[in-house]
Copies of this chain bind each other. A is one copy, B any other.
């Protein structure tokens, strides 16, 4: 058993957390990359602590200025547990498998953001405006075509956010980086690119009569 496998002492963990925070603060200088990753991938995972143990909520996020937003049922126990507490939000795009000449140097190309901060619930007019921003982020042009939200629907929905103040984006691109002496081995190496693809829209089978697919569908982007 190597020394690295021993459980770290509490002091190590505290030191480690400050180190991570500092590292993430350094990373934050590249705010443009963070914003680009958040815009590319709505799917997010939000970690929170419930009764001392970690829990995860998969959900969709959108950005408004210096905050990342998400929403859910106002009755959601996960959202209630997050409110006023530290959370960690992660967004990842898997962009390719990097196949090297040794097992050890296999890797993935990716774009990833990890943010730390306190979650807060957004209320009133601010929350109602956020629904439109959410649609503008995911389905631009669609909000204006929908029937307005009812008061009951607004009341049933909670909007949450966290500041983009602590965290980092990480990006890997390009081919494998093998040990110098391995390049002459007769082993194929390279990259298998991966992307998320939007397919042609399918009309709702329950529609009482066919309606033309709206132009705004072509404005949805992903990845």
Contacts and interface: CB of A to CB of B under 8 A. Distances in A.
A33 interface: no
Q: How many copies does the complex hold?
A: 2
Given A13-B51, A103-B143, 20 more contacts: A4-B80, A6-B80, A43-B92, A47-B55, A48-B54, A56-B90, A60-B108, A101-B146, A103-B149, A104-B149, A104-B150, A146-B187, A176-B204, A176-B206, A184-B208, A189-B204, A190-B202, A190-B203, A192-B202, A194-B197
Interface residues of A, number: 111
Majority SS of interface residues in chain A? Answer: mixed
A47 B47 contact: yes
Interface of A: 1-2, 4-8, 12-14, 16-17, 19-20, 42-43, 45, 47-56, 58, 60, 74-77, 80-81, 83-84, 86-90, 92, 94, 97, 99, 101-104, 106, 108, 110, 112, 114, 116, 121, 123, 131, 135, 138-139, 142-143, 145-147, 149-150, 153, 155-158, 175-176, 178, 182-208, 211-214, 217, 220, 222
